[in-house]
Amino acid sequence: MSGINKVILVGRLGADPEVKTISQGQTVAKLSVATSESWTGKDGQKQERTEWHKVTVWGKLAEICGKHLSKGRQVYVEGKLQTRSWEDQQGQKKYATDIVASTVQFLGAATERSSTSNNSSSDDMNYQDFGPEPTFQAADEIPF
C-alpha cells in the first residue's frame, strides 16, 4: 500500500503572492499562509500560537492567485508536502519543505464569491489586514 501525502489549511495570507514565470514558461506563485490556534493555559490565561506555511502554486491556478489574492485574504489550501534541496553559495546542502497546492479557494464574507480551484476564477476579492508574523519563544509551554 502506498502512503498518503495530503495537507489541508485554512488561514490568511501574510503577504501578497509572489508570482514568477520560470524558464520553462510555467507560472509559479509563492504564498505565505498563517494558521492560528488558541487555548487556555494551566494558569487560566488565553494562549495563541501562529504557524507560517510556505505554499507553492503552479500553472493557471498560480496566475489566478496572483491576480486575486492579497495580504490578509483568507484561503483554503489543499495539496501535498514536498521537500526540495539545493546547495548554498558556501556549498552547504539546504532543505525546505513546502506545500504544493492542488486547490486554492478564496474564503471570506457571504457577499464575496468564493473559489478558485484548478479551473475556475473569481472577481471582487476583499481582504482584511493581517499583522506581522508573531514571535514564539521555544521556552513557552506547548499545550499538549
Question: pLDDT tens-digit profile of 8-46?
Answer: 999 999 999 999 998 888 999 999 999 999 999 999 999
Contact 122, 63 (CB under 8 A): no
Q: Is 33 helix (H, G, I), strand (E, B) or coil?
A: strand
Report whether pLDDT(121) > 60: no
The tens digit of pLDDT for each residue in 62-109 reads 999 999 999 999 999 999 999 999 999 999 999 999 999 999 999 974
Report whether pLDDT(129) > 60: no
- Cell readout for 11 is 488561514
Contact 114, 107 (CB under 8 A): yes
Rg (CA), the chain: 17
Fold classified for 7-36+47-107: OB fold (Dihydrolipoamide Acetyltransferase, E2P) (2.40.50)
